């Protein structure tokens, strides 16, 4: 992914994310995408506390169209190490995708120097409840319940 292909890559990754979610979740998931932006920070808190904090922070954000976030992402681009797309909220008329990014500034200095000139990685992920049973579909909105 390059700065030039950032928007197109995020659009394609969003489609892949929704297709993945449709396979493993029972919800109706819209192709009408909106986005929020979140920084992944180093934390020693356990997963449940981090999830609750993230959910509270995200509930205060206004979902935007991707083209509205591209200028901010382009500004961040030199420091982006990893971008992860998650579905924050899926409704029948819109899907809000959380663009979570991890900054190269948070890497230890020796590794950071090795990856300083590399393009960021891009991943699509669907988080699942802790008690999720393999093969059983679940509510994609489980983190917000």
Q: How confident is the model at residue 24 (pLDDT cuts 50, 70, 90)?
A: very high
pTM of the model: 0.92
Q: How far is 133 from 56, CA to CA, in rounded Å?
A: 27
Side-chain-facing half-sphere of 68: CA atoms under 13 Å: 9
Residue 139 pLDDT greater than 80, yes or no: yes
At residue 133, the pLDDT reads: 83
Query: 68: helix, coil or strand?
Result: helix
Give the total number of structural domains in the chain: 1
At residue 130, the pLDDT reads: 83
At residue 42, the pLDDT reads: 85
13 domain-assigned: yes
Give the residue numbers spanning the domain of 140: 6-144
At residue 121, the pLDDT reads: 96
At residue 43, the pLDDT reads: 80
Residue 135 pLDDT greater than 80, yes or no: yes
At residue 138, the pLDDT reads: 93
Tens-place pLDDT, residues 99-126: 999 999 999 989 988 999 999 999 999 9
At residue 86, the pLDDT reads: 97
122 domain-assigned: yes
1 domain-assigned: no
Tens-place pLDDT, residues 29-77: 999 999 999 999 888 788 788 888 888 899 999 999 999 999 999 999 9
Contacting residues for 84 by C-beta, under 8 A, at least 6 apart: 40, 99, 100, 101, 102, 123, 124, 125
Q: How far is 97 from 109, CA to CA, in rounded Å?
A: 31
At residue 8, the pLDDT reads: 97
């Amino acid at each position: 992914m390059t700065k030039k292909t950032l928007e197109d890559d995020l659009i394609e990754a969003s489609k892949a994310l929704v297709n993945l979610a449709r396979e493993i979740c029972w919800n109706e998931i819209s192709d009408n995408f909106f986005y929020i932006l979140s920084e992944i920070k180093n934390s020693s808190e356990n997963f449940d506390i981090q999830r609750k904090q993230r959910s509270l922070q995200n509930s205060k954000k206004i979902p935007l169209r991707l083209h509205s976030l591209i200028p901010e992402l382009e500004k961040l681009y030199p420091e982006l190490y990893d971008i992860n797309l998650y579905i924050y909220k899926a409704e029948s008329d819109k899907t809000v995708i959380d663009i979570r990014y991890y900054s190269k500034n948070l890497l230890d200095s020796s590794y950071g120097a090795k990856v300083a000139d590399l393009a960021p990685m891009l991943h699509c992920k669907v988080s699942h409840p802790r008690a999720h049973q393999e093969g059983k579909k679940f509510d994609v909105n489980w983190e917000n319940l």
